[in-house]
Amino acid sequence: MLVLCLGLALFLLPHLFREFGLRDKFRNELLGIPAYMGMYSVCALVGLALIIWGKSIAPFVMVWEPVFELRYISSILMIPAFIFVVAGNIPMSFIRWQLRNPMLLGVCIWGSAHLWANGDLASMLLFGSFSLWAGLKFVSLRNNFQSTLVPESGWLWRDLIAVVVGAIIYFIVYVSHGQLFGVGLAIN
């Protein structure tokens, strides 16, 4: 669990520098923008690698038993999660304009959906940490968002792209979840 926790700290803490009031200090005063971006990237990549490795070697410690008959709720929640992540990575659309940071909301839903289906300690650390981080960032950035930009023309097409691409990615991940992550999803 130590490797997983270290990876989570290395990945998530630098992503909270803005909320802690440290981003500008590191970026502008102590390191400079190029060095800060390099440090930020290295921390994120090393943290991600440690998260993957730490989750794979973590002992299975059951904390609570998810209700087997209700596991489909996780699958349903993952549909908007994928759509929001895609919407957060395309130019301004109505979804992005309304939610401000749909990718963070998608990550929060992703983590919550996985918490619903996984009751072991390593999963709770992984998915709970990401849900808390994304929820905190979503609220923080939404409260600080002051733009009155209205989506330019073509926003409907970008929303449609987000929905279609998100649904396609959802289907691919759902069908190949076992091959990708070592945990198959029962299709009933």
CB 134, CB 120: distance < 8 Å: no
CB 99, CB 84: distance < 8 Å: yes
Quick check: helix, strand or coil at residue 62? strand
Q: Residue 23 has what pLDDT?
A: 87
Question: 78 CB contacts (<8 Å, ≥6 apart)?
Answer: 109, 110, 113, 170, 173, 174
Q: Residue 57 has what pLDDT?
A: 97
What is d(CA 117, CA 128) in angstroms, rounded to the nearest whole number?
A: 12
Phi/psi region, residue 164 (left: phi>0; alpha: psi -120 to 50; beta: rest), is: alpha
What ranges do the domains of the chain cover? 1-58, 60-188
Question: 171 CB contacts (<8 Å, ≥6 apart)?
Answer: none
Write out the chain's pLDDT in tens, 188 residues: 999 999 999 999 999 998 888 888 888 888 888 999 999 999 999 999 999 999 999 999 999 999 989 989 999 999 999 999 999 999 888 898 888 899 999 999 999 999 999 999 999 999 999 999 999 999 988 776 655 566 677 788 999 999 999 999 999 999 999 898 888 886 54
Which tokens in the block code for residue 162?
């987000």
Query: 10 Å Cβ neighbour count for 98?
Result: 11
Quick check: helix, strand or coil at residue 120? strand
